[in-house]
């Protein structure tokens, strides 16, 4: 298949590029490299974009890879790209993806929302003109739903009101301006699919954990990022980094916040399933493997790290600067992926071991950046 990956230099876009090349697809990888200058601290050192591209070209599938250094928000670029390639599928991973970043200042809130929305609108209009049959696979987030006190369906539900009913978008209650940008995208895509008969899978992505995939092998140029700072790292990444560095693990508040999680390898497998099973029209998929509370994850990391002889690991909750429920109902559905044949490939414990092994050589990097783990951005 001819596949465009927008955000191909990112945490997900890069390993997905490697996997699709391995399995025989032709891949156009697009990135403006802006994420590299936003200050995230990666435990695993990341090769320059040109070194990454060289490494891919040296592989036997290098001739199926096309690297495009450009910006998804540029109207002219996107038109030309889709006009020339007419891809079968487009993965859109090219967004600014940090809740704390978006809450930090008015400038960052505006940057996050306008960048993400502009990119998505740009893709939709170019698809309409040049490849209306392509499959847009868009990265949203489970965070679009927030934590309602009812089960969470996949995007739509049978709404009952005043004795009548209709099949309507499920209410969204995101908790940050970043998560809101994904909701804005979802609604824009939903309309474009309705008006122009475009085809899109909108992935409500759970939190992804993992530091390597089989395709990376031993080539250090093929590694992906492992951000552990308070702005760009996930809670689980911070916990692993803290355990490795000998710092206490610091859940925010009581740690009762529940979220859906999935490993990097399983996430990549899901993207393949979705790519191989396109849809006519607009489809929402909830993509996660298992629901855990933040405190459960902290305990898991502690157990695994102690088993790996990293010494005694302490869990020391800190005050929660976010506005979020720390005790709540949480029951999202995962119907579509199950129907497509999704099976968990990797257990959390095993993946945590691998993460810790992967970042252990970079213990000094984590220690040097100790300050960056501490949250500074308050939601209020």
Q: What is the smallest separation between the CB atom of 4 and its own copies, expressed in angstroms?
A: 17
Q: Indicate the residue among 115 and 263 with the shorter CB distance to its own copies.
A: 115
Query: For this structure, is 380 an active site residue?
Result: no
Q: What is the smallest separation between the CB atom of 184 and its own copies, expressed in angstroms?
A: 4
Q: Indicate the residue among 186 and 293 with the shorter CB distance to its own copies.
A: 186
Cβ–Cβ contacts within 10 Å for residue 139, how many? 24
Neighbouring C-alpha atoms within 13 Å toward the C-beta of 275: 25
Q: What is the smallest separation between the CB atom of 172 and its own copies, expressed in angstroms?
A: 7
Q: Indicate the residue among 184 and 259 with the shorter CB distance to its own copies.
A: 184
Query: For this structure, is 141 an active site residue?
Result: yes
Cα 203 from Cα 142, distance rounded (Å): 8
What does the binding site for its own copies look like in residue numbers (CB under 8 A)?
A: 75, 105-107, 109-110, 113-114, 117-118, 121-122, 125-126, 148-151, 153, 157, 159-162, 164-166, 168-177, 180, 183-184, 187-188, 191, 194-196, 323, 329, 379-380
**Backbone φ and ψ of 42, nearest 5°:** -100, 130
Q: Indicate the residue among 46 and 180 with the shorter CB distance to its own copies.
A: 180
Residue 189 burial class via C-beta count within 10 angstroms: exposed 0-12, middle 13-18, buried 19 and up:
buried
Q: What is the smallest separation between the CB atom of 94 and its own copies, expressed in angstroms?
A: 15
Q: What is the smallest separation between the CB atom of 189 and its own copies, expressed in angstroms?
A: 10
* Spatial contact of 284 and 155, defined as CB atoms under 8 Å apart: yes
Q: What is the smallest separation between the CB atom of 129 and its own copies, expressed in angstroms?
A: 9
Out of 11, 178, 342, 362, the active site residue is 178
Q: Indicate the residue among 316 and 323 with the shorter CB distance to its own copies.
A: 323
Out of 138, 182, 223, 302, the active site residue is 182
Out of 73, 120, 141, 201, the active site residue is 141
Query: For this structure, is 182 an active site residue?
Result: yes
CA nearest to 364, candidates 244, 240, 249? 244
Cα 35 from Cα 217, distance rounded (Å): 24
Q: Which residues are catalytic?
A: 141, 178, 182
């Amino acid at each position: 298949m001819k596949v465009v990956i927008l955000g191909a230099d990112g945490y997900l876009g890069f390993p997905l590029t490697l996997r699709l090349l391995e399995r025989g697809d032709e891949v156009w990888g697009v990135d403006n490299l802006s994420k590299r200058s936003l200050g995230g601290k990666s435990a695993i050192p990341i090769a320059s974009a040109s070194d990454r591209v060289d490494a891919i070209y040296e592989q036997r599938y290098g001739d199926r890879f096309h690297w495009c250094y450009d910006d998804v928000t540029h109207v002219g670029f996107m038109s030309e790209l889709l006009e020339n390639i007419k891809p079968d599928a487009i993965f859109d991973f090219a967004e600014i993806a940090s809740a704390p970043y978006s809450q930090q200042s008015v400038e960052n809130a505006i940057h996050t929302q306008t960048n993400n929305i502009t990119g998505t609108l740009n893709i939709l209009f170019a698809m309409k003109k040049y490849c209306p049959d392509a499959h847009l696979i868009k990265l949203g987030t489970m965070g679009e739903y927030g934590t309602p006190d009812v089960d969470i369906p996949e995007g739509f539900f049978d709404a009952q009101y005043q004795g009548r009913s209709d099949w309507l978008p499920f209410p969204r209650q995101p908790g940050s301006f970043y998560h809101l940008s994904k909701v804005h995208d979802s609604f824009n895509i939903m309309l474009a699919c309705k008006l122009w008969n475009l085809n899109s899978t909108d992935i409500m992505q759970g939190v992804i954990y993992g530091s390597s995939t089989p395709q990376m092998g031993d080539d250090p140029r093929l590694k992906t990022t492992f951000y552990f700072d308070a702005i760009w790292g996930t809670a689980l990444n911070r916990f692993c980094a803290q355990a490795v560095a000998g710092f206490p693990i610091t859940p925010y508040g009581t740690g009762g916040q529940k979220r859906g999680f999935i490993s990097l390898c399983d996430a990549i497998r899901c993207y393949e399933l979705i790519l191989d099973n396109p849809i006519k029209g607009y489809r929402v998929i909830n993509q996660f493997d298992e629901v855990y509370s933040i405190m459960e994850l902290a305990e898991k990391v502690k157990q695994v790290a102690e088993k790996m002889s990293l010494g005694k690991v302490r869990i020391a909750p800190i005050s929660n600067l976010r506005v979020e429920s720390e005790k709540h109902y949480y029951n999202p559905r995962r119907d579509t992926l199950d129907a497509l044949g999704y099976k968990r490939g990797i257990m959390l414990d095993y993946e945590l071991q691998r993460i810790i092994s992967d970042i252990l050589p970079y213990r000094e990097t984590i220690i040097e950046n100790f300050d960056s783990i501490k949250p500074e951005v308050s939601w209020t």
